[in-house]
Structure 1
Amino acid sequence: MLTFARVRALAIIAVLVLGALIAVLVALTRDDGLVTADHTSCPDDGVVANLELADPREIRINVYNATDQSGLASQVGEAFANRDFEVVEQGEDPRDTDGAGVAVLRYGPQAVGAAHVLQAYFLNTATFEFDLEREDDVVDVVLGNGYRQLATPTEVRLSIAALGSPVPPPGTCVAT
């Protein structure tokens, strides 16, 4: 025999389960976080940016050393290569950056998403340097005096989650 207290408890549990199911369905069907702009939404002087978070096998990088530590670019370049990145060049920084900070990521419109992924390998502490005129899809990774090591795979995943989706830099629009 059901008492009033048991009926009330079952009703409350049923309401909570129903609310949880609705919340899950709403979360699964929402797509507010997706960028839906296309080329037609670009201003006349806008440059199309690639915001795709690429797999490391699809990311091309140059690794440059802006510190006094000899061989750092080749050491970090090898670490990136072991993580499936395509390392195009490595050596001393051609722009002679002062070496401050952990790292500087230099990139153009075709590598916005790639730079976003690389930021996670520096635990979101690298400085972005976007160049609207750059036409290649390579990201220059300039190592600074604050660099200690690349993030672990788990730290990278957590950093990417913390960063969220890349935002088109000023003067660009979204590639479809």
Structure 2
Amino acid sequence: MGGQYRITGDKYPRMRRPRRRGRIALAVVASVAVLGTAGWGTLQLIDVFSGGDGDRASAAGSAADCAAGASPTPRVAERLPAPRLITVNVFNATTRQGLAKQTADELKKRGFRIGDVGNAAAQYDKKVKGTGLLLGPASARNTSLTVLAAQLTGAEHRTEAARKGATLDLIIGDRFRTLTAKADADRALAALAAPEPTPATKKKNC
């Protein structure tokens, strides 16, 4: 340069090393992973102390219920007595002869105990217009009277508070033709004894 320029001072320009972008990216990824792990651990702790396990158990139970169907709830009728434990008096309130004995014989085949058989008392004779009238004590309303009612569809049920004992009366009415078919009566009783879904279960979305 012909000596026109001189370098003065004791500082010289330094050459910087190129930045390693790969290391920076790796460090960023590692930081994110650490933060994510810490956050997940925090959520787990919160879940434990806030009863999260119970929620998961409830959810699991709900899934099981959906898979198995509605949760069964036993009906009161599940405690219905067997026919062999029920004594029935059979009375004929019609003008047709022999109905009381025929009906009593059929009930006996179905397992019922038979008490008195004959014509109906004056207060009921020729006054029962339906298929029949079933009488029993108040305690038989949802028990033995229900079992007997399954044998004669359409019969009127009536309880008497002052009635003593557990014996029932079947008074045959004008519209009586025959007892309900045994298979149909058995199905009706089985349906009453079967479990049914609770209202809460019915509303559940599966």
TM-score by length of 1: 0.64
Q: Equivalent pairs: percent with the same residue? A: 25
CA gap 1:63/1:122 in 2 versus in 1, 3 angstroms? same
> Residue 121 of structure 1: SS of its match in structure 2?
coil
Highest CA radius of gyration, 1 or 2?
A: 2
* Alignment root-mean-square deviation, CA: 2.8
Deviating 4+ runs (over 2 angstroms)? 18-21, 23-26, 109-112, 157-165
Match for 2:173: what amino acid?
G
Q: Which has the higher helix share?
A: 2
> Residue 94 of structure 1: SS of its match in structure 2?
coil
Distance 1:135 1:52 in 2: 22
Q: Within the alignment, does 1:76 sit opposite 2:106 as a pair?
A: no
Kindly indicate whether the alpha-carbon contact (under 8 Å) linking 1:111 and 1:138 is maintained by their aligned counterparts in 2.
Answer: no
> Residue 104 of structure 1: SS of its match in structure 2?
strand
User: Could you tell me which residue of structure 2 aligns to residue 130 of structure 1?
Assistant: 159
| TM-superposed deviation, 1:77 | 0.7
> Residue 136 of structure 1: SS of its match in structure 2?
coil
Structure 1: runs of 5 or more not aligned? 1-17, 36-50, 166-176
1:74-153 map, 5 Å: 74-97=101-124, 98-112=127-141, 113-123=143-153, 125-153=154-182
Distance 1:95 1:52 in 2: 35
Kindly indicate whether the alpha-carbon contact (under 8 Å) linking 2:137 and 2:166 is maintained by their aligned counterparts in 1.
Answer: yes
User: Could you tell me which residue of structure 2 aligns to residue 13 of structure 1?
Assistant: none
TM-score by length of 2: 0.55
Distance 1:76 1:135 in 2: 24
| Equivalenced residues, count | 130
